[in-house]
Chain A
Amino acid sequence: MWPDPRVVKFVGDNFLPARVHVKDDAALFQKYGDMYSAQWTPTVLELDSDGVERHRIEGFLPNDDFLAQLMLGRAQMSFAAGEWDDAERRFREIVDKLPDTDAAPEALYWAGVAPYKKTHDPSSLKKTATAFKDRYKESSWAKKASIWA
């Protein structure tokens, strides 16, 4: 997953990358594993610039799903920072570019929430509920959005 050029570019554009290896960096693995409750490999944490965990990927994923999860975590950071336009753009990018991944329905949900958080206009929520009638109908995110219909 790491050599995928899309992953390499996304990580380079968005993160400072660090790694602790279970054997080669055993003391560091223990230290940061305790700090962030990481008890399995692979575990990838997306931390904001203050070192606060914003997203966690545990276990192997194929390239598209892995990239989508990285993008989802980065979008959640913008959301947590109240950067609503940037968050919406990032969530929608996942749905547009990686629509068949598990992250896509979650991204569609939050892409509807971000503009609502900015404007308090519920139309984006209603629009999102409608969108879930056409795609990702069986996902848990479609159930969560159904209240907005």
Chain B
Amino acid sequence: MEITFRHDVDAVLSEGRQQHKPILLDFSAAPM
């Protein structure tokens, strides 16, 4: 079980506004 992170941050921010849902933004250096 893993989190599916998206990389299109602008789209995620826009969806957050539309859905009234908070956003988790991870600044990472972990191997992908």
Contact = CB atoms under 8 A, between A and B. Distances in A.
Nearest to B4: A17
A47 B25 contact: yes
Contacts of B17: 49-51
Contacts, number: 126
Contact of B21 (A3, A16, A19): A16
Given A41-B28, A45-B25, A16 B1 contact: no
Interface in B1-32: 1-9, 12-13, 15-17, 19-30, 32
A18 B7 contact: yes
A50 B22 CA distance: 8
A11 B3 contact: yes
Given A18-B12, A20-B7, A47 B23 contact: yes
B32 to A, nearest CB: 6
B24 A18 contact: yes
Interface in A1-33: 2-3, 5, 7-8, 11-12, 14-25, 28-29, 32-33
A42 interface: yes
Interface of A: 2-3, 5, 7-8, 11-12, 14-25, 28-29, 32-33, 36, 38, 40-51, 54, 70, 74, 77
